[in-house]
C-alpha cells in the first residue's frame, strides 16, 4: 500500500570538518539513493550538518529510522558505501 505520511520527520547529524571534502564528493550519490526511497537530504557545510527528512513520496514510515541509524554508522566509518537496493519497497 503506497501513500504519503501525515507528518514530516527529520534528523540532523553533525559531521567532523575533515570529512567535508569527502561528503561533498559523494553527496550526489547519497541524494540519488535516498531520493529513490522518498527521503530528502541536505548537506550544510557552514554548520557541519547532514539532515534527512521524509517527503510526500515517502511511503515507508520506518525508512527514516533506517536512514538515521545507517547515517550514524557511516558517520563513524572512514568510507561510505551505498546499497540502494537493500531497502527496496514493494
The full set of domains in the chain, from first to last, is 10-76 (3.30.1370.10)
Q: Give every strand in the sheet of 10-14, ordered side by side.
A: 10-14, 49-54, 39-44
- Taking the model in full, what pTM does it have? 0.65
In this predicted structure, what is the pLDDT of residue 43?
A: 92
Q: Cα 58 to the chain's mean position, in Å? A: 12
> Which conformational region is residue 48 in: left (phi greater than 0), alpha (psi within -120 to 50 degrees), or beta?
left
More confident residue, 53 or 63: 53
Q: Tell me the sheet residues that pair with 41.
A: 52
How does pLDDT run across 1-29, given as a tens digit for each residue?
Answer: 456 666 777 888 888 888 889 889 989 99
> 3-class SS at 85?
coil
Amino acid at each position: 500500500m503506497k501513500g504519503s505520511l501525515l507528518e514530516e520527520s527529520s534528523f540532523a547529524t553533525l559531521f567532523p570538518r575533515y570529512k567535508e571534502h569527502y561528503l561533498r564528493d559523494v553527496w550526489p550519490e547519497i541524494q540519488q539513493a535516498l531520493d529513490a526511497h522518498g527521503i530528502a537530504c541536505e548537506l550544510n557545510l557552514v554548520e557541519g550538518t547532514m539532515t534527512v527528512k521524509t517527503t510526500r513520496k515517502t511511503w515507508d514510515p520506518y525508512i527514516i529510522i533506517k536512514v538515521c541509524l545507517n547515517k550514524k554508522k557511516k558517520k563513524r566509518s572512514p568510507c561510505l558505501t551505498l546499497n540502494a537496493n537493500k531497502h527496496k519497497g514493494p
